[in-house]
C-alpha cells in the first residue's frame, strides 16, 4: 500500500489527501506547523516540538484540533502505517474552514493535517566539505517566534540562495545582524565561543537550537546568545547551522568567501557528535 496522510480524522492515500478551498490555511496562511525528525522510527525531541506547537497556537488563539495525547497517537500511528524509519513527520493546524473573512470565524473547528516524508541523512560530502550560505535581506514580520505557515519571505530567500548555488540563506536585518537561516538557526564560533541569536520574537526558537544549547552548557564550551553581524560571520573561525532535518551542518563559505580555513571546524564537529549522541540516547530509551 502507498503512503498515507492524516486529514481531519481520517487516514487517506497521500495522493488523495485534500483540504477544503476555504481552509483558512489555504486562504490566509492562518495556521501553524511543526516538523519532527524520525530516526529508526523514533520521534526525536517530540515533547519540545509539541510545546512549541502549543505556544504557536496560543499566540494565534487557535484551539488544539485534538488533545496533545491524541495528537501523539496520530503521529505515531502515521509513522507506523507508513513504515517510516528515517525522515520527518510534518503536521499543521489551521484555524479551520469558514467563509473567507479576515476576522476570526465565530464558530470553527481547527483543522489538522499530518504527513510523513522519507529523508536521507546529510551526504558524506556535505559533512566533509560543509555547506555554502548566501546572505539575503530579512524581510519578514516581527513575530518570527510563531511557527506560522506564512513562509513567503523564507521561500524567496531560499530560492535566491539556491540560485546563488548555496545550500541556505542567512537572513540579515537592516542593522547588518544575522538573525537566522530561511529554515535553520545560524551560529558562529569565534575564539572558542559559540555565538547564536538570542531567543526572542526575532527568530524561531529552533528545537535543535534548544537541545544543542542545553548540551553545550554541559561541555564547558563558552556560549553567548547575542546577535552577530554578517561581517563578524565572515571573519569567524567556524560557522554552522541547525534544524530538525539537518541537525547540525558546518557552514564553510558565506557569499563565496571561506569561513576559517574553508573546512568544517573542530568545535562544529564536536557539537555535531554531541548532538548525535543525544539522538542515539533518545532512540535507545524509546526501544
Please give the backbone phi and psi of residue 50, each rounded to the nearest 5 degrees, phi first. Answer: -70, -35
H or E, element range at 191: none
Q: Shortest approach of ligand PMP to residue 53 CB, angstroms?
A: 11
Residue range at the interface with ligand PMP (CB under 6 A); choices 16-24, 59-67, 119-127, 207-215 = 207-215
Given candidates 56, 110, 116, 185, which one binds ligand PMP under the rule CB under 6 A? 185
208 is an interface residue for ligand PMP by CB under 6 A: yes
Given candidates 12, 19, 29, 35, which one binds ligand PMP under the rule CB under 6 A? 35
Cell of 12: 487517506
Given candidates 53, 88, 204, 249, which one binds ligand PMP under the rule CB under 6 A? 204
Q: Torsion over CA of 269, 272, 274 and 280, rounded to 10 degrees?
A: -140
Which residues have C-beta within 8 Å of that of residue 165, sequence separation ≥ 6? 132
> What is the C-alpha separation between 152 and 86, in angstroms, rounded?
28
Given candidates 56, 135, 184, 282, which one binds ligand PMP under the rule CB under 6 A? 184
147 is catalytic: yes
Residue range at the interface with ligand PMP (CB under 6 A); choices 71-79, 85-93, 199-207, 260-268 = 199-207
Q: Shortest approach of ligand PMP to residue 229 CB, angstroms?
A: 19
Which residues, 234 to 273, sit near ligand PMP by CB under 6 A?
242-244
177 is an interface residue for ligand PMP by CB under 6 A: no
Looking at the chain, which runs of residues are DSSP E strands? 4-7, 10-13, 31-39, 42-43, 87-94, 111-118, 131-137, 168-172, 177-181, 185-190, 193-196, 222-225, 228-229, 238-243, 247-254, 257-258
CB nearer to ligand PMP: pick between 110 and 183: 183
Which residues, 137 to 176, sit near ligand PMP by CB under 6 A?
154
Q: Is 124 helix (H, G, I), strand (E, B) or coil?
A: helix
178 is an interface residue for ligand PMP by CB under 6 A: no
Cell of 189: 564560533
In the complex, which residues of this chain contact ligand PMP (CB under 6 A)?
35, 154, 180, 183-185, 204, 206-209, 242-244
Amino acid at each position: 500500500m502507498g503512503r498515507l496522510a492524516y486529514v481531519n480524522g481520517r487516514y487517506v492515500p497521500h495522493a488523495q489527501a485534500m483540504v477544503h478551498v476555504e481552509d483558512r490555511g489555504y486562504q490566509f496562511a492562518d495556521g501553524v506547523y511543526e516538523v519532527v525528525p524520525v530516526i529508526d522510527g523514533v520521534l526525536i525531541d517530540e515533547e519540545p516540538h509539541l510545546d512549541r506547537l502549543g505556544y504557536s497556537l496560543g499566540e494565534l488563539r487557535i484551539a488544539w484540533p485534538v488533545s496533545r495525547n491524541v495528537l501523539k497517537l496520530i503521529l505515531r500511528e502515521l509513522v507506523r502505517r507508513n513504515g517510516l524509519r528515517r525522515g520527518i513527520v510534518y503536521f499543521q493546524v489551521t484555524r479551520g474552514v469558514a467563509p473567507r473573512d479576515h476576522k476570526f470565524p465565530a464558530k470553527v473547528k481547527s483543522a489538522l493535517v499530518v504527513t510523513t516524508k522519507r529523508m536521507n541523512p546529510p551526504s558524506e560530502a556535505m559533512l566533509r566539505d560543509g555547506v555554502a550560505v548566501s546572505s539575503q535581506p530579512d524581510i519578514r514580520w516581527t513575530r518570527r517566534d510563531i511557527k506560522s505557515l506564512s513562509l513567503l519571505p523564507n521561500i524567496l530567500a531560499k530560492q535566491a540562495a539556491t540560485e546563488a548555488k548555496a545550500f541556505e540563506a542567512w537572513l540579515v536585518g537592516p542593522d547588518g545582524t544575522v538573525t537566522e537561516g530561511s529554515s535553520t538557526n545560524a551560529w558562529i564560533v569565534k575564539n572558542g565561543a559559540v555565538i547564536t541569536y538570542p531567543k526572542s520574537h526575532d527568530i524561531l526558537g529552533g528545537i535543535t537550537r534548544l537541545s544543542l544549547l542545553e548540551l553545550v552548557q554541559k561541555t564547558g564550551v563558552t556560549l553567548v546568545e547575542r546577535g552577530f553581524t554578517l561581517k563578524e560571520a565572515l571573519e569567524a573561525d567556524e560557522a554552522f547551522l541547525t534544524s530538525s532535518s539537518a541537525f547540525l551542518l558546518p557552514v564553510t563559505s558565506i557569499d563565496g568567501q571561506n569561513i576559517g580555513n574553508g573546512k568544517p571546524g573542530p568545535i562544529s564537529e564536536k557539537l555535531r557528535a554531541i548532538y548525535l549522541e543525544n539522538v542515539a540516547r533518545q532512540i535507545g530509551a524509546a526501544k
